[in-house]
Amino acid sequence: MRKLFPADDLARDERFVRQTQEARIADPRRARVAEANAKRLTPDLPNGPDRARALMHGIFVGEVQALEGAGRTCFDFETGGGADDVPFELKLDMARQCWDEARHCEISVKLGDHMGTELGEYTENTTLYEAACNPDPVLRLTGVNRALEGLAIDVFNTMREFGDASGDPVLEFCEDWMLADEVTHVKMGSDWLRRLTDGDKARLDRALEFQRVVDKLFSFNGFRGDDDESPIQLTRRFREMAGFTPEEIDEIAEMSRQSRSEVPA
């Protein structure tokens, strides 16, 4: 079996259609898309339920890719103490994460049914998986488990609040349970980042820089931030539980504000 599996070759059936990051950026309506999603996602928006459905589908494909990414990390690296190797315990953590992500996929499919969404109803973007293809295990862990799983904390908390506000106990509790797993995944990333870069500041800096790149990519148009109007709210409490420092959270919030200001008029 080959290592460092390319995103283009991920197995999907005919229900799924992919959109590249380039195509998304090339859409001349990009500013209008940002405008359309500029308000905090709440049930009282006229299109609130449909936006929640679309976001839930995004979560579903994200879970599929997170499963694929964690699975690759179990396989792509040899067990050992070298720079390109990973400890066996890290693989165990990734195996546990695969178990969680597989469960999240099933939950997301059922939530899609609950909300009236068909599998593949919305386009799939594989940027999440692409971040899980970094050949350096520390950068991969940082990009996936701290940046992307950190985003998952924010998204799940937003959806949990949406379920609470709309009086939907199915959505609220499902999101709450998945949120608890995501906090664990981010904590794994924070712990392994610290352990694998112990005494190697240059590698730590590279990993944190990669995390910033991924965080910036997923702060598109200020979509996620801690301003009241951000569609997805940056969740400070859960991020701190997962090993983020207040300064790191401030930095992500600032990045989001900057990203919003960069949207072309």
Partner 1 sequence: MAMVTVEPTTFSVVFFDASVICDWARDVADRLGFDGEEVHIVIDETSPLARWHIAGDRPVRLLVDGGAFEDTRRPREMAERRTRDVVGRALLRVLDRRGDGFVDAPPDDELTLAHAVAWDVYVVGRLARRFEHNGQRQRRLYQFRNRHGFSDAADAAFDRIWSADDLDWAALIAISDGARAVVTE
List residues near partner 1 by CB under 8 A: 17, 19, 23-24, 27-29, 32-33, 36, 43-44, 46-50, 53-54, 113-117, 120-123, 166-170
Phi, psi of 79 (to 5 degrees): -80, 130
| Residue 56 near residue 108 (C-beta atoms within 8 A) | yes
**DSSP 8-class letter at 232:** E
Q: Which is nearer to partner 1, 19 or 184 (CB)?
A: 19
Of the candidates 89, 113, 263, 257, the one whose C-alpha atom is nearest the C-alpha of residue 188 is 89
**DSSP 8-class letter at 263:** S
Q: Which is nearer to partner 1, 47 or 258 (CB)?
A: 47
Q: What's the closest the beta carbon of residue 146 comes to partner 1, in angstroms?
A: 29
Q: Which is nearer to partner 1, 1 or 26 (CB)?
A: 26
Longest Cα–Cα distance of the chain, Å, equals 55
Q: What's the closest the beta carbon of residue 167 comes to partner 1, in angstroms?
A: 5
Q: What's the closest the beta carbon of residue 128 comes to partner 1, in angstroms?
A: 18
Q: Which is nearer to partner 1, 83 or 170 (CB)?
A: 170
Q: How far is CA 110 from CA 45, 79, 105, 152, 220, in A?
A: 24, 36, 9, 18, 28
Q: What's the closest the beta carbon of residue 39 comes to partner 1, in angstroms?
A: 12
Structure tokens at 117: 């969404």
Q: Which is nearer to partner 1, 99 or 173 (CB)?
A: 173
Q: What's the closest the beta carbon of residue 174 comes to partner 1, in angstroms?
A: 13
